[in-house]
């Protein structure tokens, strides 16, 4: 991905007067946790594309030995095709992997395949209809309860074995993981997502403007960040988008929930229509509303993630196998994911701006300071410096705040392994509260705890 293509992900200050880009000048040790993840291919190739990063060690970690071996073979193949000199090692022992790591990329998944149907089917009995269900609502809560304790154990190892390493987390539920980490660990953690990059490109397409001509300000919480300013060549793009939402059915149907929210709140949000529909009480509380506002796939289909995940995993492994065998081409282009650009900026002192989930140290003034927010962050060789955003429009801040109160109690539940805090968190979830009474929420939570007890040690 060229600097021009990155638009607002610009590497300011990268070139000297001769036009030579700074390059990494030392071998790096990068640890990838959850190497069986779908994200592995692109993130691995991204690292290989860092200027000057021609050698080093990528240590892959996964508890699934079959998928770990597949990831290692892919990595070796990619290194060969890209003419690099990286060593690609694999282990199920994360402590051995973490020792003296320079950077850690985390895409772990804890018991997800075993629990995904329970996360969806039990809440559905109580009228809580989910599309993705891995960040908010009952599905997001249960995933947090399974994942955060494991992640905190990982961070304990990082504190001991690689105290200077940055941990770049891609795992959901992003806000709960990052909030719990900030409260319970001294490790350096930042949450990374692709919703800002992806949505900004969609907005350029919807508005019919060149991406590199578009300017914006965006802030909020992960998956619920808002484009508070949006323009191209000095023209405000919101009137264009509002006209499309009202008069262009083809464009509206590409993102019905987000266009509807924009019509009523005035601003476009960063997460997909299907996922975002789970974070508010408006779209999924009655079958008629689901039919009116939601569509197939990630535009809001009921149980979309639970229905699709098993086949997606098989397809991902099959694609990886074919790439290893040379039957399918490995895409060696650099993606828009942030991790490799952060590593490059730190190693070369080439400032780079990305959107990350970080503690809200008064960065967004009308959101709780005991929470985490997603804001532009500047990174160079001094580390990551979140930037001050200011205030969100009050209606947008309120949606964020509502979800942050859920994250707050969910993080407490994960750290303290408190069933009561988890139940209270679910009572504050906007979608669940729109459908169920407190008694029904407690009953649903107890049923989820019972069904997933083998995956929730200590609860």
Asked if residues 303 and 124 have their Cβ atoms less than 8 Å apart, the reply is: yes
- For helices 137-161 and 419-428, the axis angle rounded to 10 degrees is 130
Closest-CA residue to 409 (of 198, 181, 176, 216): 176
Asked if residues 310 and 120 have their Cβ atoms less than 8 Å apart, the reply is: no
- Paired residues of 89 in beta bridges: 59
Q: How many CB atoms lie within 10 A of CB 3?
A: 14
Q: Which residues of 224-249 are buried (b: 16+ CB within 10 A; e: fewer)?
A: bbbbbebbbeeeebbebbeebbeeee
**Catalytic-role residue among 8, 194, 223, 388:** 194
Q: Is 264 a catalytic residue?
A: no
Extract the tokens encoding 196: 């800002």
Which residues are tagged catalytic?
194
């Amino acid at each position: 991905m060229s600097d021009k293509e990155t638009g607002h992900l610009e590497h300011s200050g990268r070139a000297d007067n001769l036009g030579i880009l700074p390059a990494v000048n030392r071998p790096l040790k990068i640890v990838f946790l959850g190497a069986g993840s779908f994200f592995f291919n692109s993130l691995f190739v991204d690292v290989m594309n860092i200027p000057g990063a021609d050698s080093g060690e990528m240590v892959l970690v996964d508890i699934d030995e079959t998928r770990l071996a597949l990831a290692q073979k892919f990595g070796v193949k990619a290194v060969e095709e890209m003419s690099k000199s990286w060593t690609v090692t694999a282990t199920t022992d994360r402590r051995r992997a973490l020792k003296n790591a320079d950077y850690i990329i985390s895409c772990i998944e804890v018991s997800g395949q075993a629990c995904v149907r329970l996360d969806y089917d039990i809440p559905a009995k109580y009228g809580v209809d989910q599309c993705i269900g891995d960040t908010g609502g009952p599905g997001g809560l249960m995933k947090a309860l399974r994942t955060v304790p494991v992640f905190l154990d990982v961070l304990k190892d990082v504190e001991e074995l690689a105290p200077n390493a940055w941990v770049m987390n891609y795992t959901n539920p992003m806000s709960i993981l990052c909030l719990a980490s900030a409260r319970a660990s001294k490790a350096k953690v930042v949450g990374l997502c692709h919703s800002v990059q992806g949505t900004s490109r969609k907005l350029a397409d919807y508005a019919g403007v060149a991406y590199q001509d578009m300017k914006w300000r965006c802030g909020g919480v992960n998956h619920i960040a808002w484009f508070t300013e949006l323009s191209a060549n000095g023209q405000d793009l919101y009137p264009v988008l509002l006209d499309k939402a009202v008069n262009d059915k083809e464009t509206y149907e590409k993102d019905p929930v987000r266009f509807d929210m924009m019509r009523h709140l005035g601003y476009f949000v960063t997460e997909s229509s299907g996922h975002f529909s789970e974070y508010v009480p408006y779209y999924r509380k009655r079958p008629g509303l689901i039919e009116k506002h939601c569509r197939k796939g990630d535009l809001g289909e009921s149980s979309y993630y639970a229905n699709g995940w098993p086949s997606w995993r098989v397809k991902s492994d099959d694609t990886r196998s074919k790439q290893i065998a040379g039957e399918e081409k490995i895409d060696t282009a650099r993606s828009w994911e942030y991790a490799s650009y952060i590593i490059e900026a730190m190693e070369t002192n080439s400032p780079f701006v990305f959107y990350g989930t970080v503690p809200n140290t008064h960065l967004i003034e009308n959101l709780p300071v005991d929470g985490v927010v997603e804001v532009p962050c500047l990174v160079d060789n001094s580390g990551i410096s979140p930037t001050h955003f200011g205030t969100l429009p009050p209606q947008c801040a309120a949606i964020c705040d509502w979800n942050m109160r859920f994250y707050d109690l969910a993080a407490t539940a994960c750290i303290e392994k408190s069933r009561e805090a988890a139940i209270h968190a679910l009572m504050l979830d906007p979608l669940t509260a729109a459908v169920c009474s407190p008694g029904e929420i407690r009953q649903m939570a107890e049923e989820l705890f019972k069904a997933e007890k083998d995956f929730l040690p200590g609860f």
